[in-house]
């Protein structure tokens, strides 16, 4: 019964993180188009835009932040292998729980700072210091969402690690690695 509840909870997080990460990846062609457009406008037509730099900066931030939880889900973040590869699976579980806990701590701080910055951005109408001067509030909302998703993914990962530590069983069957 508990295993079924945990699997269901983890699967919901997996789906939300996957769809958000894949959704953020669709921003990449838009970012590339904006950069190409700006380069062409600036160097071919000698008519640079006032909006392209800020737009590309925001889009890059969105892609990186919203893709963070998805990268964690796919285990694409950098790992310090010097110790990790030499220890038993149980010690790896302990290492993971400790590192996930530290990540959650950092992301909770990020979340609360982002809420404060969002409130300031609304109250004082913060804008980028550029000629276009777009508002900044949306960026802080995105950071709140991104840190929440990352926390959820790390909680999901901690559940699987702790489950394995306690029961000696995997919560989910391991997917075969594709060798890339």
Span 99-150, pLDDT tens digits: 999 999 999 999 999 999 999 999 999 999 999 999 999 999 999 999 999 9
174 lies in a domain? Answer: no
Q: What integer pLDDT is reported at residue 84 of this predicted model? A: 84
Q: Token pair for residue 44?
A: 């071919």
Span 35-85, pLDDT tens digits: 999 999 999 999 999 999 999 999 999 999 999 999 999 988 877 788 888
142 lies in a domain? Answer: yes
CB count within 10 Å of CB 7 equals 16
* Cβ within 8 Å of residue 151, ≥6 positions away: 104, 107, 108, 111
Q: Token pair for residue 76?
A: 């694409």
156 lies in a domain? Answer: yes
* Cβ within 8 Å of residue 55, ≥6 positions away: 34, 134
Q: What integer pLDDT is reported at residue 176 of this predicted model? A: 60
**End-to-end CA gap in the chain:** 36
111 lies in a domain? Answer: yes
Q: What integer pLDDT is reported at residue 180 of this predicted model? A: 46
Q: Is the dihedral angle over the CA atoms 144, 69, 170, 89 positive or is it negative?
A: negative
140 lies in a domain? Answer: yes
Per the structure, the count of domains in the chain is 1
Mean pLDDT of 159-177: 86
173 lies in a domain? Answer: no
17 lies in a domain? Answer: yes
Indicate the pTM of the whole model.
0.90
**What distance lies between CA 113 and its chain's CA centroid?**
16
CA nearest neighbour of 161 among 99, 102, 108: 99
Query: Is pLDDT of 178 > 70?
Result: no
pLDDT tier at 161, thresholds 50, 70, 90: very high
56 lies in a domain? Answer: yes
In angstroms and rounded to an integer, the radius of gyration of the C-alpha atoms of the chain is 20
Q: What integer pLDDT is reported at residue 175 of this predicted model? A: 66
Do 38 and 53 touch, CB atoms closer than 8 A? yes
Q: Which domain does 112 fall in, by range?
A: 2-167
């Amino acid at each position: 019964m508990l295993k079924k509840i945990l699997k269901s909870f983890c699967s919901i997080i997996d789906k939300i993180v996957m769809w958000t990460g894949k959704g953020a990846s669709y921003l990449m062609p838009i970012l590339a188009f904006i950069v190409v457009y700006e380069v062409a406008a600036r160097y071919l037509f000698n008519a640079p835009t006032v909006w392209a730099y800020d737009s590309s900066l925001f889009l890059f931030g969105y892609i990186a932040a919203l893709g963070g939880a998805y990268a964690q889900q796919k285990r694409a973040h950098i790992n310090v292998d010097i110790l990790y590869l030499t220890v038993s699976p149980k010690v790896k579980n302990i290492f993971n729980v400790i590192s996930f806990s530290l990540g959650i701590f950092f992301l909770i701080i990020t979340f609360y700072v982002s809420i404060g910055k969002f409130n300031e951005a609304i109250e004082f109408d913060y804008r980028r210091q550029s000629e276009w001067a777009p508002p900044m509030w949306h960026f802080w909302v995105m950071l709140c969402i991104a840190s929440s998703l990352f926390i959820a993914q790390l909680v999901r990962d901690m559940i699987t690690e702790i489950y394995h530590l306690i029961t000696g069983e995997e919560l989910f069957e391991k997917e075969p690695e594709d060798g890339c």
